[in-house]
Amino acid sequence: MSSNQNILVKLKDAGFKINDKWLVQGVSLQVEKGKIVTLIGPNGSGKSTTAKIALGIYKKIEGAVEKFTNKVGYVPQKISIDWTLPLRVNDFMVLTENLKSEIIDEALSLTGVIHLKDKNLGDLSGGEFQRVLLARAISKKPDLLVLDEPVQGVDFTGEIALYKLIKKISDELNCGILLISHDLHTVMSATDHVVCLNGHVCCSGSPIDVAKNNEYKALFGEQASQILSRYEHKHDHIHTNEGKIKKN
Amino acid sequence: MFGDFFIRALVAGIGVALVTGPLGCFVIWRRLSYFGDTLAHSALLGVTLAFTMEFNIAISVFIISSLIALTLIQLQKRTNLPGDALLGLLAHSSLAVGLVVIGFLTFIRFDIMGLLFGDILAVTVDDLLIIWIGGAIILLILKLIWKPLFASTVNYELAEAEGLNPDRAKAIFTILMAAIIAISIKMVGLLLITGMLIIPAAMARNISTSPQKMVVYSIIGGLLSVILGLFSSLEFNTSSGPSIITAAFLLFIISLFKIKQTIKLKN
């Protein structure tokens, strides 16, 4: 465990219920600078709820949550925007913080949607909107990024590129990332810590440890376990565009 | 300088339009037009209390409207009734209580038409001060809470997650709504205040591509409505409120044609 200064958000036995029904219970986890923590679990297992507890959106919670930063970028799983608002991508980018035009352009370029800058938000496709959401979250250069299924609806090649981008952002900005994803393949290669949820924490640890865990196997099946363990080997090379191998 | 009643009315109307422009945009964005109506209905109670206690009308209306707004928030927390039912309940209850109180005030001569529809003859220099100073304060506060209010209008959870405190912004905005109704009641009358808030903003929505533009067009629309409305009120000897709102409605209709034209151009 690294020193306390690096902790951005910490949950201790956190839980949340609506009308006496627990959405999630007994979650302990912490996100540190430069680390990616991934929440996995089946539908309704409390992943988004856990993220909202960490963000302070849910206030009447059980247990404790401590947030050590206010520079937060959030990509929610679901977002409903009211189209009574005339809102362009550019207006949406400065929604919670005023940013310089170069910084907005840079973030939109990174997620590949710079050409949509002056478009009305309501005219975007699902995948395009998802890229804008991610651009908005990273443009603030936050200490903590909370990404709830950030690449949903994005095309296959885009998905891989965006996960690479997320990893790169984590390294370059040294920000902590709390990531929620269903895509075990792409995510696990970059994750430092995995928390497997099913209404409670069923297991947690490094991707390899989680893959070996019996509860994880019971929840996701043997096949998923093999996916995770495949990432045990360390890459000493990267694959360039033409499929060539480049040594690090 | 403000000796002429018409100049006073014009200055008052311009002051009101400058404030209803931006506030009206939020009323549309946040779908608060019935909330505005409820506050306006409760204003009658405020006015009658002002008469009984010989108190300033604007301040009395502001206090009563704020109380109604706070009551609404409490009722929303404590009952399972839907929001529109609560709004109707409060609007008509406070209107009824206000009318009952008027019934007891037989010793006071009451210009009820002026109250309901606005009366340009009634605007005094004191009213001008209230409108312009009150309006300046409302605009200043709105500018201060703009970021959290706008962000939470777009998406509450994003604003909350990224540390903007949207609940506080919402509470302050509610008070601003009560304040704008209080300062504009003499100009437009309590039946038509919500129209002054939403019609110029609705017109602006038709022709704007960004939130800032919508605010600017809404202000311009409000100013034009006031000027056109007051001149025709003078010309045709009609109440100021209905004349202003009719002018605003005409502008709204014109803005619809603007849209058709741009669509034609695009094709």
Chain B: residue whose CA lies nearest to A52: B161
Higher per-residue confidence, A31 vs B107? A31
- pTM score, two decimals? 0.85
Distance CA(A62)–CA(A14), nearest Å, equals 5
Distance CA(B127)–CA(B139), nearest Å, equals 18
B215, part of any domain: no
In terms of residue numbers, what domain contains B105? 5-195
Burial of A136 (0-12, 13-18, 19+ CB in 10 A): buried
Cβ within 8 Å, pair A95-B151: yes
Confidence category of residue A235, pLDDT binned at 50, 70, 90? very low
The CATH number given to whatever domain includes residue B66 is 1.10.3470.10
Q: Is residue A213 predicted with pLDDT exceeding 70? A: yes
Cβ within 8 Å, pair A57-B213: no
CA distance B204 to chain A (A): 10
DSSP character at residue A122: G
B66, part of any domain: yes
Cβ within 8 Å, pair A91-B147: no
Residue carrying the six token digits 């004191």:
B126
Q: Which among A73, A84, A86 is the nearest to B210, CB-wise?
A: A86
Mean pLDDT over the full length of chain A:
84
Considering only CB atoms, which residues of chain B are within 8 Å of chain A? 28-29, 31, 147, 150-151, 153-155, 157-164, 205, 208-214
Mean predicted confidence (pLDDT) in B242-266:
80
The 10s digit of each residue's pLDDT in B62-84 is 999 999 998 988 888 888 888 88
Q: Is A120 on the interface with B (CB under 8 A)?
A: yes
Confidence category of residue B191, pLDDT binned at 50, 70, 90? confident
The percent of residues above 90 in pLDDT, for chain B, comes to 57
Q: At what angle do helices B5-29 and B193-207 cross, to 10 degrees?
A: 60
Cβ within 8 Å, pair A91-B211: yes
B239, part of any domain: no
CA distance B189 to chain A (A): 27
Chain B: residue whose CA lies nearest to A75: B158
B223, part of any domain: no
Cβ within 8 Å, pair A95-B28: no
B168, part of any domain: yes
Tally of structural domains, chain B: 1
Cβ within 8 Å, pair B155-A81: yes
Q: What is the pLDDT of residue A233?
A: 43
The percent of residues above 70 in pLDDT, for chain B, comes to 94
B267, part of any domain: no
Q: Is A150 on the interface with B (CB under 8 A)?
A: no
Do you know the residue count of chain B?
267
Higher per-residue confidence, B67 vs A1? B67
Strand-pairing partners, residue A179, are A38, A147
- Planar angle of CA B181, B205, B195, nearest 5 degrees: 30
Q: Which among B157, B164, B209 is the nearest to A86, CB-wise?
A: B209
User: Amino acid letter at A29?
Assistant: L
Confidence category of residue A2, pLDDT binned at 50, 70, 90? very low
- A vs B: CB pairs below 8 A: 74
Cα A99 to the chain's mean position, in Å? 22
Mean predicted confidence (pLDDT) in B206-226:
95
CB distance B152 to B166 below 8 Å: yes
CB distance B203 to B223 below 8 Å: no
Cα B21 to the chain's mean position, in Å? 9
B251, part of any domain: no
Confidence category of residue A229, pLDDT binned at 50, 70, 90? low
Q: Is A69 on the interface with B (CB under 8 A)?
A: no
Distance CA(A217)–CA(A210), nearest Å, equals 9
CB distance B226 to B17 below 8 Å: yes
Which residues in chain A have Cβ-Cβ distances shorter than 8 Å to B208? 86
Contacts of A142 (CB under 8 A, 6+ apart): A69, A71, A72, A73, A173, A175
CA distances to B43, B50, B51, B96 from B103, in Å? 16, 15, 13, 11
Choose the mutation target among B25, B162, B164, B213 for the interface with A, i.e. most A CBs under 10 Å.
Answer: B162
B21, part of any domain: yes
Q: What is the pLDDT of residue A75?
A: 94
Distance CA(B115)–CA(B111), nearest Å, equals 6
CA distance A80 to chain B (A): 7
**ipTM entry:** 0.81
Do you know the residue count of chain A?
248
Contacts of A222 (CB under 8 A, 6+ apart): none
Q: Is A96 on the interface with B (CB under 8 A)?
A: yes
- Nearest alpha carbon to residue A54 among A12, A6, A20: A12
The 10s digit of each residue's pLDDT in B162-172 is 989 999 999 99
